[in-house]
Amino acid sequence: MPDNPAKLVPAVSSAPISGSLDPLTCPLFGLDAAGLATVLTSVGEPPWRASQLIKAMYHQYLTDISSITTLSLELRRQLAAKGWRIGRPGIAKAFQSVDGTERYLVNCLGPKLETVETVWMPEGDDGEAGDGSESGPGDEVENLRSSDAKSWRRATICVSSQVGCAVNCQFCLTARLGLQRNLTAGEIAGQVISVLARHSVRVGRDRVNLVFMGMGEPFLNYDNFMAAVRLLVREVGLSPQRMTVSTSGIVPGIERFVQEPPDIRPKLAISLNAPNDQIRTEVMPINRKWPIAAVVDAVRPIRLRPHERITFEYVLLGGVTDQPEHARELARLLRRSGLPVKVNLIAWNPGPGIAYRTPAADSVETFQRVLAGEGIPAYIRQPRGRDIFAACGQLKRTIEA
C-alpha cells in the first residue's frame, strides 16, 4: 500500500479514486503530472521525476515499473514495495476484420473480471476522418509522412466510457447489458494507450482520432470521462480537436461540457436518431426526461472553434426513422436550432433479439439526398468490421455469452 493515502489527491484520478488508494483501484496509470509528483514526494523523491513516469507510461507505453530504466533500480524497487504498479488496462482479446478494423475486449482494473469494447479503425471512409470531420488542409503532408512506415495513414479509436449502459435505447445492444459500472479515468485513457501501443502510434506524427462512442454514456460518467480527456490532451499529447464525444442527450452533462475550455474540449455529437419527440421517445425513452428542445437548448451556449459544427448522429431504423418525410422533418428541426450542424447517418446494425430492420441501401442514400437538398450536410457512416460483431455491445455479448 502507498504510504499516507489520505494526503494523495491526484488531480486526474480524484474522481475514480474517491478517497481509496488501494493500489488495485489506484494504479499509477491514470495519474497526471500533479498526481505522479505527489506519489514521488511520498517516497522521498523530487516531484520533477513525474516527467519520467509520464514519458514511460504515456509516450513509451511501458506497462511495468521494473522496465522504467530512467528511474534508479532502488526507486523502482521502492515504488513496487509500497504497492505501486503501472496497472494499465490490457487487451484481453483482439478480433480482426477483413476491412482492417480491429475490435478488442479490454480488461478493466477492478477486482471483478470485466471487459469493455474498444475499436481500431484504420483509414477514414470516403474522404472523411473517422470522427466524421472532413479531411482538413495539411492532412496530405501528414499522411505521406506516416505512410512511409505504416500500412494505415490515419486511424480512429472508438473508446468506451462505462461497462454497459443505463440509457436503454431500444435499438442498442449495450443497453441490454444494463449499467455494470463507470470506468475510471485510467480505464478510459488506458483503452487508448493500449491501442496506440499495439499499433506503435507516434503521437504528434501519426494522425489518430478518438471517438468516445463505445459502450456507455460518457455524460453519465462525466468526471471520469473529462479526467481521461485531460490526461490524453495534457500528458499524452493528443488534440481535443481530433476527439469527438457522443451523448444520447444527457442535459446536465451537456450543460457542463459546453463550459469546458476550448483547449481541452472534444467536439460534440448528439445521438438524435429521430426527427421528432414522438419517435425519439419510442426508440430512446430517455427523451421523456430530456426532449429534443431541451437538448438543443443545452448545446446552444457552446463556444465553437472556427469551422466546428455540432454533429447529429442519426441511426436509420428501417420503416421507423428512414423515410424521406423523416429527413425533411429532421432538416426543419436542425434549421430551427440555428446551430452549425452536420448529420452522420448510420444504417442500424442488427443485433440478436432486437426487433428493428436495417434500412434499404437506397433509403439511406435518399435520406442523405433529401437532407443535402434542404441545405443540411450529411455523411453516411460506413459500418466497420461487420464480420466481427460490429454493433456496439455485440462483441462483448457474443464472446462472453
- Looking at 8, 26, 157, 169, which residue binds ligand SF4 (CB under 6 A)? 169
* Known catalytic residue at 117: yes
Nearest residue to 121 (alpha-carbon basis) of 142, 88, 95: 95
According to DSSP, the β-strands at 267-271 and 243-247 are: parallel
Per-residue binding string, ligand SF4, 256-295, x by CB under 6 A, is ---------------x------------------------
Compare residues 248 and 337 and give the one whose CB is closer to ligand SF4. 248
Compare residues 68 and 195 and give the one whose CB is closer to ligand SAH. 195
Nearest residue to 360 (alpha-carbon basis) of 318, 314, 313, 327: 318
Using rule CB under 6 A, residue 165 touches ligand SF4 = yes
Helices marked H in 276-351 — which ranges?
277-283, 292-299, 324-337
Distance (Å, whole) CA 245 – CA 254? 11
**Catalytic pick among 117, 187, 217, 235:** 117
Interface residues for ligand SF4 in 49-78 (CB under 6 A)? none
Spell out the residues 6+ positions from residue 336 whose beta carbon is closer than 8 angstroms to its own: none
Q: How many residues bind ligand SF4 (CB under 6 A)?
A: 11
Nearest residue to 369 (alpha-carbon basis) of 358, 359, 379: 379
CB atoms inside a 10 Å sphere around CB 392? 22
Q: Which residues bind ligand SAH (CB under 6 A)?
A: 171-172, 213, 217, 246-248, 271, 273, 313, 315, 346, 348-349, 351, 391-392
Compare residues 26 and 380 and give the one whose CB is closer to ligand SAH. 380
Could you tell which of ligand SF4, ligand SAH, none binds residue 175, using a CB distance below 5 to 8 A set by kind? ligand SF4
Give residue for cell 462483448.
Answer: 396
**Catalytic pick among 165, 169, 172, 392:** 392
Provide φ and ψ at 386, rounded to 5°. Answer: -55, -35
* Known catalytic residue at 26: no
Instruction: Give the footprint of ligand SF4 on this chain (CB under 6 A).
Output: 165, 167-169, 172, 174-175, 216-217, 248, 271
Active centre residues (catalytic) = 117, 392
